Structure 1
Amino acid sequence: MAMLLEDQHKNYELFRDFLSTALIEKATQPEPKARRRAKSKKVTESTASRPTSENSLKDAEDLADFVEYIAAETFESLPGELKTLDYYAYSKDGDLQDRYALPFTGADVGALIPSLDPSITESLQTYGITHEDRQGIDEFLAPVLTAFMASISKLPPAPSSTKKTVTALVKRGWHREEDLQNVAWLCGACHRFVHHFASHEELARYYYTVDLLLEQDEIVQFAKWVGRLRWKGR
């Protein structure tokens, strides 16, 4: 990957967070139980291409390297304007809004990054992240790029919106006002995963502390992996 320019770091880190969430979800999914089938010595193409135990991402160090590699190579293939785009530039340019209308589809991804290195496709297939017959790389990247684009083109929240949220929580009797001073500091990847896991209302009502979140198996599994990724400390 070419060296990132100073004004590209923020968007790269955002993109890597969204991509890592998608990759980790795929990599940590339990393997489906094999169906019983009639005995046959014939090896089909689908069987031959299926990832083996040697091609797994169960080790956190390997997963960290894999996330970094896929994120870096894919980000480099994005249009240059997306690498530095922010809300203020996006909101003033109607052409950008038309060109990057959301949500992205697989076809949109193919048009956005036509020069993506074929080794990325091969790597994702090797580790069972994508499958040509079920979900190709364009379909896999579509929600990742949609989330990334939505994030960089979104208006930053106004200070008053936080006050309104606090008032609503107190009025509904879910929390005492003094309890709302507690803040859970999460990294970007964990923050986005938590909001993917539950809605704002569910988080405010049922999962309003780190301890409550960690009672959920899905959160524990994600935290176990992402907490050991080396790039978090950079």
Structure 2
Amino acid sequence: MIPMNGPEHFNFDAFRDCLFTVIVNKSTPDEARKGSKRSSIRKKPTTSQTSFTDPEPSELADFAEYLAGGIFASLPDELQNLTHRAIQDDTTLSDKWSLPLTLSVLEEVTAYIPGEVNDSLTAYGLVEAPKSDVQSFITPVLSAYIAVVTTPPPKWIETRTTACEICDRDWVPLTYHHLIPKEVHAKVLKRGWHEEHRLNSVAWLCRACHSFVHRMASNEELAREWYTVDLICSREDVQKWAQWVSRVRWKKT
């Protein structure tokens, strides 16, 4: 079972999302994707197959979670831990996992996918012999996954927004907040909380929200628990603050 908490599991989350996208595409009739009036008509499964019929998003999400756990655990360690920095530092790794993937690499990966996963893919019509097999199913998943996890880090100064990322006010000056405070960078690397390329990630905040963030948690807590804007904005106290401060407008002088 793959643990799913903490920044070190970014790769699993990315793999699961890529897998979910492929499942959604394959579970949605062509007519529905094209907006046809026949979108409600589904090809009936054979007697040996189950099929998603007008699947609920939660059902697909649960199914994707199950498949992702089984497939990801079977992947080579180097693929599970693939990053932009890893392929920059290791030409052998870069050559092997560069896109498009070679047939031998795909065969290596699919050889270790658990049998129960293969059975589930067949049972739900995601793999239909002779038209498709596990390899053809997993290829777009792996390609999307590799593209995500090997994307080079952004130049953070180029991420500047036009409005505060907490209160959305666009008429006040913005400052940049180091999401992983500089004072704890050494501890972050020593403890392995984040990869080095993420140390200088920033959020663009007005001065009032910037000060609020530093009052709400210590630098170590910010680095460990509140290292993205989404995480910060998930807090109830931040939401209440944002609602209040967004109504504040400076009087004209």
Judge same fold: TM > 0.5, yes or no: yes
Aligned positions of 1:191-210 closer than 5 A: none
Aligned positions of 1:22-41 closer than 5 A: 22-29=22-29, 30=32
Alignment partner, residue 40 of structure 1: none
Aligned positions of 1:1-234 closer than 5 A: 1=1, 3=3, 8-29=8-29, 30=32, 47-51=46-50, 56=53, 58-104=55-101, 108-159=105-156
Q: Do the aligned partners of residues 28 and 11 (structure 1) sit closer, same or farther apart at CA in structure 2, a change above 3 Å counting? A: same
Q: In the TM superposition, what is the alpha-carbon distance from 1:108 to its structure 2 partner?
A: 3.0
Q: Is the 8 A contact 2:75 2:109 kept in 1?
A: yes
% of aligned pairs identical? 30
SS of alignment partner, residue 154 of structure 2: coil
The one-letter code matched in structure 1 to 2:48 is S
Residue deviations 1:142-189 (CA, integer Å, cap 9, x gap): 0110111122122123347668xx9xxxxxxxxxxx9xxxxxxxxxxx
Q: Do the aligned partners of residues 32 and 98 (structure 1) sit closer, same or farther apart at CA in structure 2, a change above 3 Å counting? A: farther
Instruction: State the aligned residue count.
Output: 157
Q: Structure 1: any 5+ residue segments left out of the alignment?
A: 36-45, 167-177, 179-232
Larger Rg: 2
Alignment partner, residue 193 of structure 1: none
Q: Structure 2: any 5+ residue segments left out of the alignment?
A: 33-39, 163-169, 171-233, 235-253
Residue deviations 1:168-224 (CA, integer Å, cap 9, x gap): xxxxxxxxxx9xxxxxxxxxxxxxxxxxxxxxxxxxxxxxxxxxxxxxxxxxxxxxx
Q: Do the aligned partners of residues 28 and 115 (structure 1) sit closer, same or farther apart at CA in structure 2, a change above 3 Å counting? A: same
State the TM-score, normalizing by the size of structure 2.
0.52
The one-letter code matched in structure 1 to 2:84 is Y
The one-letter code matched in structure 2 to 1:27 is S
State the TM-score, normalizing by the size of structure 1.
0.56
Of Structure 1 and Structure 2, the greater helix share is in 1
Alignment partner, residue 216 of structure 2: none
RMSD over aligned CA atoms reads 3.5
